[in-house]
Amino acid sequence: MQPPVRYSPDVEALRPDEGQIIEQLNAAFDKILTRVAEDSGHAVRSVHAKSHGILEGTLTIDADLPPELAQGLFARAGEHKVYMRMSTNAGDILPDAVSLPRGIALKVLDVEGERLPDAEGTTQNFIMVNGTVFQAPNAEKFLGSLKLLAGTTDRVEGLKVAASTVLRGVNKALHAVGIDSPTIGSLGGAPNVDPLGETYNSLTPFRYGDYIAKFSLVPVAPALTALTGTEIDASGRPNAIRETVQSEMAGIAGEWEFRVQLCRDLERQPVEDPTVEWKEDEAPFQRVGVVRVQPQDSWHPDRVQAVDEEMRFSVWTGLAAHRPLGNVNRARNAPYRHSAEFRERFNRCPIHEPGALR
């Protein structure tokens, strides 16, 4: 196996139109944010708006990691408090019969080290979904999809439910012949699986101290792996996922391995195109820590208020050692901040970043 590629700034290739594309992304997200806020009277996130569970736990960083894995946050063994937010990817609050990709946002508290530019507080954020590749190779292509979604946000809910049923059938047929379609999944054709049994991936690459990596969160507790692939019947239950997770987490001690996949060949594991899967036989995932969550109420009102309403999650909140890399990641910075500022203004509820000076 090849040694990991060392990070240097020239692994990224900036495009001259990135500023213009980001302005257009903000405009499309504004359309989603404004429509949902005006229709519901409450502002939510422009993506992954609907939360299905908020958990509190710990990340234990493994001791005696080899030098290439003992980087950034993971350079020192120890334990950190974490918050986990489970969600689906739409920018409007849809009934769970519309089956969408699952996401997990992980906020690691009390992290020491040089911060990314404008990264308030002392946390490291990781954002992952239950897929292996991003749906678009760059921000410009993603913008085209986003404009279509913005046009249907908070509209034709019944049609979305019906379309989701059809698309799930299409997706299952494609899976049967070995084809995976993140685009069909993002439009409502994803399997309506229990989020507690899913494996989550960052999809995009990040600096990993002296190296480059993607991240993964993998369920390992038997009570979680027993749920892998289990589908939730959401017919007549608009919040079926939330209710299911709440019922299950009342009795589950959850455990997920945090793994990193080091880039070993920039041709075969590109930084700028997240539609290319980094094959595990060429760049294996390796464990660097464990997230543990004790049985708890995953929809406790106090935690929902503190985390879902008063915090934001951004891949640009964290350490310089874990700088987001690639065109798609660069394009996430301004829209994430823009979305949080809109929520803060509309809801008249300050967004708090743990450890930030006030």
Residues 238 and 187: beta-carbon distance below 8 Å: no
Does this model's pTM top 0.75? yes
The Cα 81–Cα 83 span in angstroms is 7
Q: pLDDT at residue 46 above 70? A: no
Nearest to 72 by CA among 114, 119, 11: 114
Residue 338 makes CB contacts below 8 A (sequence gap 6+) with 26, 29, 30
Between the CA atoms of 267, 270, 275 and 278, what dihedral angle is there, to the nearest 10 degrees? 80
Token couple for 260: 């990193």
How open is the CA angle 332-337-343, to the nearest 5 degrees?
125
What the chain holds in terms of domains, given with CATH numbers, is 9-347 (2.40.180.10)
Helix (H, G, I), strand (E, B) or coil at 57: strand
268-303 residue pLDDT tens = 999 999 999 999 999 999 999 999 999 999 999 999
202 or 34: whose pLDDT is higher? 202
Nearest to 342 by CA among 306, 308, 312: 312
Residue 197's pLDDT is 98
Nearest to 163 by CA among 100, 256, 244: 100
In one-letter notation, the amino acid at residue 151 is G
244-259 residue pLDDT tens = 999 999 999 999 999 9
